């Protein structure tokens, strides 16, 4: 493995297979990084940016970034938080990425009695997140037995190995199909970008700044739309009020129609059908709502 490269090189740890892989890869590509979509190679060089991508198990990302083997890494906040409870990680959360959203939650069989957290007193709770669960229970002064398992957490009550579970929940389908009901949230999670704190090379630090600027551009664009419409000049004020999160509109006269204007603007929020209907009622025509690829301030 090309661990010590001569030229300054950014190494980014990304999950090899699993729920984070696709969104991480798509984010890197949106940031303009061009690399092969290999399913076999573990270290993939970027063709157009001095960076390489290291494909690993998600559980290894915090350590790889903390030790400086990788300067950046994408991982779920849940994994970072569980690892951080064990060792003092030398990395920061550089960006929240807005994908792989889920929560670490306690659930118990639907028919079991639950009157708040005190119902867990003395009970056995199975989890793959023992440290986060233990901390949560301690904070609430609940004395339960934490049972460490390595997977298939949701079947443990059925097998009478545990009375409750603590696992990741996204849609809640898995809990429901195992007759379990969500009782309490231990941690809210989403994908995060970790950044090593031990970066002493100025060129690497400046590469990271360039990369982060691109991420910010992609994230700002994701929530924004570009809107264009025509209207009578007298409607301008009422129309401007209807566009959510609008910034600095450009207003230009329409050639050959002295009373008509074209309005172009960036809306920092999504534009829903209801807004478009209201715009039409207020006299807007030829409304175009266009996705934005990047916003660089
Ligand atoms: O092989 P590797 O170790 O890299 O991957 P992994 O198997 O440990 O992780 P993976 O790919 O399953 O998940 C990676 C990350 O995705 C997690 O650490 C979370 O940050 C995030 N994530 C988001 C989820 C979920 N949503 C999720 N729903 N991780 C797991 N689940 C599982 C959950 O454990 C349960 O079994 O999905 C089931 C519940 O889903 P719902 O939709 O039925 O509620
Ligand atoms: Zn994992």
* pLDDT one-digit tens code per residue, 60-101: 999 999 999 999 999 999 999 999 988 899 999 999 999 999
In whole angstroms, give the CA distance from residue 137 to residue 143: 7
If pLDDT is split at 50, 70 and 90, which confidence band does 25 have? very high
Nearest to 270, CA basis, from 224, 215, 214: 224
Residue 107 · residue 126 · CB < 8 Å:
no
Nearest residue (by CA) to ligand 1, atom 21, is: 100
Nearest-atom number in ligand 1 for the CA of 58 is 4
pTM for the full model?
Answer: 0.88
Nearest residue (by CA) to ligand 1, atom 4, is: 57
187 Cα to the center of ligand 1, angstroms: 14
pLDDT greater than 50 at residue 137: yes
pLDDT greater than 90 at residue 174: yes
Kindly write down the DSSP assignment for every residue of 226-253, as one continuous string: EEEEEEEGGGHHHHHHHSTTEEEEEEEE
What would the pLDDT profile of 182-233 be if each residue is shown by its tens digit?
999 999 999 999 999 988 899 999 999 999 999 999 998 988 999 999 999 9
What is the DSSP code (8-state) at residue 58? G
Query: Which residues line the pocket of ligand 1, CB cutoff 6 A?
Result: 15, 17-20, 57-59, 76, 78-79, 100, 102, 167-174, 189
40 Cα to the center of ligand 2, angstroms: 18
Q: Which ligand is nearest to the CA of 15?
A: 1
Residue 104, both tokens: 């670490």
Q: What pLDDT score does 7 carry?
A: 63
188 Cα to the center of ligand 1, angstroms: 13
Between the alpha carbon of residue 87 and those of residues 81, 135, 162, 165, the distances in Å are 10, 14, 28, 24
Nearest-atom number in ligand 1 for the CA of 77 is 20
């Amino acid at each position: 493995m090309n661990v010590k490269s001569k030229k300054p090189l950014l190494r980014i740890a990304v999950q090899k297979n699993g729920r984070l892989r696709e969104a991480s890869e798509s984010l890197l590509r949106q940031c303009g990084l061009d690399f092969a979509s290999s399913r076999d190679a573990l270290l993939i060089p970027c063709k157009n940016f001095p960076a390489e991508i290291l494909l690993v198990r998600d559980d290894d990302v915090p350590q790889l970034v903390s030790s400086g083997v990788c300067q950046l890494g994408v991982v779920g906040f849940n994994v970072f938080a569980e690892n951080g409870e064990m060792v003092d990680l030398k990395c920061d959360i550089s960006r929240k990425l807005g994908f792989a959203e889920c929560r670490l939650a306690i659930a118990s069989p639907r028919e079991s009695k639950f009157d708040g957290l005190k119902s867990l007193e003395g009970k056995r709770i199975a989890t793959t997140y023992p440290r986060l669960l233990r901390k949560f229970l301690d904070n609430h002064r609940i004395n339960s037995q934490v049972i460490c398992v390595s997977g298939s957490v949701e079947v443990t009550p059925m097998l009478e190995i545990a009375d409750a579970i603590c696992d990741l929940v996204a849609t809640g389908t898995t809990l429901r199909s195992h007759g379990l009901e969500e009782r309490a949230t231990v941690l809210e999670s989403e994908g995060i970008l970790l950044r090593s704190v031990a970066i002493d090379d100025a060129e690497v630090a400046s590469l990271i700044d360039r990369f982060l600027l691109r991420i910010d551009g992609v994230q700002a664009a994701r929530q924004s739309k570009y809107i264009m419409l025509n209207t009578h000049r007298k409607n301008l004020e009422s129309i401007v009020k209807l566009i959510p999160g609008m910034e600095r509109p450009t207003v230009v006269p329409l050639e050959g129609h002295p009373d008509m204007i074209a309005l172009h603007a960036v809306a920092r929020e999504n534009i829903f059908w209801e807004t478009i209907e209201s715009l039409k009622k207020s006299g807007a025509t030829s409304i175009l709502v266009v996705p934005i690829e990047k916003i660089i301030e």
